[in-house]
Structure 1
Amino acid sequence: MMGDRLMIIGLPGSGKSTISDLVEGEPSDHQHREDCLYRSRSFEVPGSYIENHWMHSIVIMLSQNQASGVLLLIDGASGETLYSSGFARAFNEPCLGVLTKCDLLSEEEREQGLARLVDAGVDMALCLSTTTGEGVNELLDWVRNVAPNE
């Protein structure tokens, strides 16, 4: 059963809420949560679900039951990732890798971040900066194709 929302996953501080605000077209004033935050077009999976490997099966189940697409984030500022090699291939839905805060990165750091996303098994990857606007249109185009607004 495929859902109608976009699932956004990443470690704490990777930009899940910021990207959800872009997808929704309006800001949210929610605080840090330990459970999924559902909005009309997206839902955010807490970073703790990625930090704890035993919860990865829950992330996969959530995608199968509730997502039309998956955004897999890596925080460009820290470069930290806990995704195993090929992790995104467990999803039946299209999966876009997003390297956030790319305005802070050198070209080499960008390449390393995108390589980590490719290693995680995403269908495609892009660099995103909400500060400069880089990648925002590409992200929203992908979202419109995967999770069209009704």
Structure 2
Amino acid sequence: MDNKKKKRVILIGRSMAGKTTMCQYMNHEGLKYHKTQTIQLINDKVIDTPGEYLERTYMRGALQVTAVDADVIAFVQGADEAGTMFSPGYASMFGKPCIGIVTKSDLASEKQIEDAKNFLRQAGAQKVFVTSSYEGTGFEELIHFFEDE
């Protein structure tokens, strides 16, 4: 996997959606809570963004500007969230392929997971992955997606 060219992805989601924890899992780091305060580039392939950039309307422009450096836009939705921050058609503002990643599937019922997947599809995610960093599930397909064919 290390010799293959990977797509650069930007992770967009509300605070506590699991963006940073997912990065820690995929980098084989110990899982520990870490509040992302600024945009961070991880291994030159993942752009991790603070949840406030999505939550605060006046900061959303920073997501659009930062997304220019990404190949893929990833909307991250915690399976245990009631509701979503992604409006229908949200992906249209980026003009790039958008995917959805449901995190924390271990904390949610099947209905909550389906609701999260539907929120992401309505936002414009072309493909949706369901993951759990705690259980280590759903990452094989996601990692494969990021590798160039």
After TM superposition, the structure 1 stretch with the greater mean CA deviation from structure 2, 137-146 or 36-45, is 137-146
Residues 36 and 49, structure 2, Cα contact 8 Å, conserved in 1: no
Match runs of 1:1-150 below 5 Å: 5-26=8-29, 31-40=34-43, 41-64=45-68, 66-145=69-148
Paired with 1:132 and 1:27, the residues of 2 have a C-alpha distance of 13
**TM-score normalized by the length of structure 2:** 0.82
Change (3 A) 1:36 1:108: same
Unaligned runs of 5+ in 1: none
Residues 21 and 27, structure 1, Cα contact 8 Å, conserved in 2: yes
**TM-score normalized by the length of structure 1:** 0.82
Paired with 1:106 and 1:33, the residues of 2 have a C-alpha distance of 27
TM superposition shift of 1:23: 4.2
TM superposition shift of 1:33: 3.6
> What per-residue deviation string (whole Å, max 9, x for no partner) do you get for residues 58-104 of structure 1?
2112112x112122101112234211111122223222101111122
Unaligned runs of 5+ in 2: 1-6
